[in-house]
Amino acid sequence: MQQPKILKSGFLPEETRKKLHTVIYEADTRAGKLFDIILLCVILLSIVAVMLESVASIKIVYGRQLAWIEWIITVLFTLEYIGRVIAVREPLKYVFSFYGFVDLLATIPKYVGLLFPGTGFLIAVRAVRLLRVFRILKLTHFVGAGNQLINALRKSQVKIAVFLFSVLVLCIIMGTLMYMIEGPESGFTSIPISIYWTIVTLTTVGFGDITPITPLGQLVSVIIMIMGYGIIAVPTGLVTAQFMNDEKPHLNTQACPNCGANQHRDDAKFCYNCGASLSK
């Protein structure tokens, strides 16, 4: 609709740009699929490289190879970033989008490392590359199933929020109680630590780094555990009920204009009660 200016219409002739766009952003052609698979491999390689570099014994032995791999990945990501910028009609929109930032951050750590050597926080920036795996999801046939899962969760969203809020209040109350009962001698050194311990216990994780020693503390622990064991039924029940409802034809709450009956199938044309036409 708007008159295209230079930074809005891209750097390439329309024909070339379209072809590049098909390869980089779409996955329907052969070249597009190939590009996506190669990108996926490079992203996974970059993630594995970040992981391995964090293992001290590996870094000592293979440090040089990892540095080389880092350089290769940086070059590939740079080329891909330039490609993405010139392949869209409005580069600025891409650059300032979420994935635009992620792609940029995935590219720059090595360059920044050249300018300011020894900046340790770069590992954090490199970890941003992990977010790029979500690009992969786009190309899979998993999207349908993934959307179904997300929809089911979204529909029970409010109930899950209420549930989590109640659990949190419960944990704060129980944590304070445990702090007053056990005290610092047993490792319950402060109320925040006690609440941390309560959540560890309620979710049935149970690290065992802090454990109650007094009989009363153990009694309260037992109550927390049984509550945690029981109330896990609530999110499970919510999500299960949601999944089930998603699979049966949905009954809506629209009322029949003639007799007022509701709970019709979404695709019903006539009222099941009086046979009047439903003016949808």
Helix (H) or strand (E) run with residue 194 in it: helix 191-202
Residue 96 CB, nearest approach to its own copies (Å) = 23
What is the distance of C-alpha 196 from the center of its chain?
24
Query: Toward its own copies, which CB reaches closer, 12 or 58?
Result: 58
Per DSSP, the three-state class of 38 is helix
Query: Toward its own copies, which CB reaches closer, 28 or 267?
Result: 267
d(CA 41, CA 35): 10
Within residues 211-270, the interface with its own copies by CB under 8 A covers: 211, 215, 218, 221-222, 225-226, 228-230, 232-245, 247-249, 251, 261, 263, 267, 269
User: What long-range pairs does 146-151 form, CB within 8 A, spacing at least 24?
Assistant: 148/246, 151/246
- Give backbone dihedrals phi and psi of 5, rounded to 5 degrees, phi first: -95, 175
Instruction: Kindly provide the residue ranges of all beta strands, DSSP E only, lying in the chain, ordered along the sequence.
Output: 251-252, 264-265
Q: End-to-end alpha-carbon separation of the chain, Å?
A: 35
Beta pairing partners, 251: 265
The pattern of x and - marking residues 18 through 57 that bind its own copies according to CB under 8 A reads -----------------------------x--xx--xxx-
DSSP character at residue 130 = G
Query: Toward its own copies, which CB reaches closer, 4 or 249?
Result: 249
Within residues 125-144, the interface with its own copies by CB under 8 A covers: 127, 130-131, 133-134, 141-142
Amino acid at 3: Q
The pattern of x and - marking residues 54 through 73 that bind its own copies according to CB under 8 A reads xxx-----------------
Q: Which span sits near its own copies by CB under 8 A: 9-17, 35-43, 97-105, 120-128?
A: 120-128
Within residues 146-205, the interface with its own copies by CB under 8 A covers: 146, 148-149, 152-153, 158-167, 169, 172-173, 176-177, 179-180, 184, 189-193, 195-196, 199-205
